[in-house]
Structure 1
Amino acid sequence: MIRTLVQDYEHIHTTIGISGNLLFVVGSVLFFKAFNHFYTLAVWLFVIGSIFMFIGALGGGLHRMLQRRNNRV
């Protein structure tokens, strides 16, 4: 199942990674003093963005690892 998810649906982990980058940047900007009233939102966007970036990187890494493994066989 993981192999199918990683190999056949590469666009999913790429989209998750890009979404994570966007959430991370928006969350980071909301930490500026001008947006003090959005502090809680900033924290959540920052955390969720970080998790999405990790999932996207993990999916990309697994995809490359499986490609190399398939090329050796």
Structure 2
Amino acid sequence: MLRTMLQRLVRDYSWIHLGIGLFGNFCFVVGSVLFFKTFESYYTLGVWLFLVGSSGMFLGSLGELAKSLYERREKRQAGHKRAA
């Protein structure tokens, strides 16, 4: 049951992965800008945004990977059912 719920979440709500990835990209860029000397007083915030952004990008990519794997498996299973 948990596996089915996870598959549905990954497949049917792919916009969540996109949103997490976009948020991660945004934080990553802002955090990177805060590394410039001009924003030296915001260095620690930049580090945290960089870390949060990198994590968001990673999670978004993992979600897209899981979606692709589920879709590939479903296509393979559908092909086996037609052949049988």
Would you say 1:54 and 2:58 are equivalent positions?
Answer: yes
Distance in structure 1 (CA, Å) of the matches to 2:66 and 2:21: 14
> Structure 2: 5+ residue runs without aligned partners?
78-84
- State the TM-score, normalizing by the size of structure 1: 0.97
Distance in structure 2 (CA, Å) of the matches to 1:59 and 1:71: 18
| Larger Rg over CA atoms | 2
Would you say 1:45 and 2:43 are equivalent positions?
Answer: no
Please point out which of 22, 30, 49 is paired with 2:34: 30
- State the TM-score, normalizing by the size of structure 2: 0.84
* Alignment length (residue pairs): 73
Query: Which has the bigger relative contact order, CA under 8 A and spacing at least 6?
Result: 1
Match of 1:67 in 2: 71
Identity %: 53
> Structure 1: 5+ residue runs without aligned partners?
none
* RMSD after superposition: 0.6
